[in-house]
Structure 1
Amino acid sequence: MTRPHVAVLDYGSGNLRSAVRAMERAGAEVTLTSDRQVAQEADGLLVPGVGAYAACMAGLSAIRGQEVIGRRLAGGRPVLGICVGMQILFSRGVEHGVETAGCDEWPGTVERLQAPVVPHMGWNTVEVPAESRLFAGIADERFYFVHSYGVREWELVTNDRTRAPLVTWTETGPDAERGDRFVAAVENGPLSATQFHPEKSGDAGAALLRNWVLSL
């Protein structure tokens, strides 16, 4: 049986080697690439990302990554974003008072978390929609987060690709008074993304990546 081919997009951001190894363990044949044609033709495209929103968008623009993502989604070809690789899929990011345009696949703003302790680092359970395929068999597990920014309000969106997106939520703290609620993952037809790092989330993260690879 042929393994699905996943391209990990190299645009100068993300834990690239960790992402490659995690996708290989999930059962994919993996290519680390900045080549648009390779990224376009793969069965699945993984968009990693760490660091500043503006820097990630600059790196993505340098290789015309928005064009690759947009063309893949227009053709119903799967894309998975991780951490800042999820954040750049939204309309805009605001860091230190500077607004940067994102890929605009989803409306919404990436902004600083409103919590007593930032960055938010550690293991969280998540609130998963019942229809989720990405979290099949692992909805009650914990996942590893490390970030200072997130999407704190979901702006309802529907498009020609699919029904309304499935949005998974979590909080930075143990209760609503201390914590800040934010988007932990989104499933939207061929486009999926997680704010947490599945490649750092042990068995649960490995299972999530396998779920995605099996859907390719």
Structure 2
Amino acid sequence: MIVIIDYGMGNLHSVSKAVERLGYEAVVTADEATLMAADGAILPGVGAFGDAMVQLRETGMKDAVLRYAAAGKPLLGICLGMQLLFTESEEHGQHEGLNLLPGKVVRFQGDYKVPHMGWNRLSFTQQSPLFRDLEEGHVYFVHSYHALPDNSGDLLATTDYYQPVTAIVGRGNLYGMQFHPEKSGEVGMKLLDNYLQLCSAGVRG
């Protein structure tokens, strides 16, 4: 069973349908007991970082997610969900994140179009089980803020948007994708499938 964490801000339907298309049971829930019983979990997110953290706290899912992650169970953050894994964000002020991965989320700065929107090619920066049987390809991004991990070892893939941009992160049982894998064609669905296989196999790292 794969849990899609429901805290009131996420593309729950599209993510759950993508999981089901890949042959896995998807359960959308805000129940901690159900989360803790899952083989793996996905933290989606659409909207502003600060609002999302308020929702996580008010629904009780912040502490639930932290306990789940501390238990060593697989967790994937998607888009805003990936950013929430980090220590803090400067989106509309300073906001504390889940602090599961050290680093901060900052706005794109430069004389170019923001938000970064469209198909961009991934560049793998190190090996990961997420990349099994997968070649570098294009995925779909929509974001105005990007993550700056403190540890280079947490960075699994970048894309280029006038600078190297964090696209995929991972450490132990934690993973994050800045783009929407469920909206990113064959490459995105293969990445999601590889994550789900990790969940079902209990593989870490």
TM-score between both structures, scaled by the size of structure 1: 0.87
* Structure-2 residue corresponding to 1:182: 165
* Structure-2 residue corresponding to 1:205: 188
Separation (CA, whole Å) in 2 of partners of 1:201 and 1:88: 21
Question: Counterpart of 1:215 in structure 2: which amino acid?
Answer: L
Separation (CA, whole Å) in 2 of partners of 1:86 and 1:145: 13
Question: Counterpart of 1:168 in structure 2: which amino acid?
Answer: A
Is there any run of 5+ residues in structure 2 with no aligned partner, and where? 200-205
Task: Give 3-state SS (helix, strand or coil) of 1:56's partner.
Answer: helix
Contact 1:165 1:189 in 2 (8 A): no
Question: Counterpart of 2:133 in structure 1: which amino acid?
Answer: G
Q: Which among 127, 139, 153 is matched to residue 131 of structure 1?
A: 127
**Where in structure 2 are the equivalents of 1:94-173 lying within 5 Å?**
94-96=90-92, 98-115=93-110, 116-151=112-147, 153-156=148-151, 164-172=153-161
Q: Deviations over 1:66-116 (max 9, x none)?
A: 2222222222110010000000110011123x1010000111111111241
Task: Give 3-state SS (helix, strand or coil) of 1:104's partner.
Answer: coil
Mean alpha-carbon deviation: is it higher for 79-88 or for 63-72? 63-72
Is there any run of 5+ residues in structure 1 with no aligned partner, and where? 158-163, 173-178
Q: Percent identity?
A: 40
Task: Give 3-state SS (helix, strand or coil) of 2:133's partner.
Answer: coil
Question: Counterpart of 2:159 in structure 1: which amino acid?
Answer: T
Separation (CA, whole Å) in 1 of partners of 2:66 and 2:74: 11
Separation (CA, whole Å) in 2 of partners of 1:166 and 1:86: 12
Question: Counterpart of 1:198 in structure 2: which amino acid?
Answer: P
Question: Counterpart of 2:12 in structure 1: which amino acid?
Answer: L
Question: Counterpart of 2:121 in structure 1: which amino acid?
Answer: T
Q: Deviations over 1:1-59 (max 9, x none)?
A: xxxx1010111111110011011112210101111111121111110001111111111
Greater percentage in helix: 2
Deviation at 1:166, TM superposition (A): 4.4
Paired residues, what number? Answer: 198
| Structure 1 runs, 4 residues or longer, greater than 4 Å off | none
Contact 1:114 1:180 in 2 (8 A): no
Contact 1:113 1:180 in 2 (8 A): no
Q: Which among 24, 28, 33 is matched to residue 28 of structure 1?
A: 24
Separation (CA, whole Å) in 1 of partners of 2:65 and 2:125: 25
TM-score between both structures, scaled by the size of structure 2: 0.91
RMSD in angstroms over aligned alpha carbons? 1.4
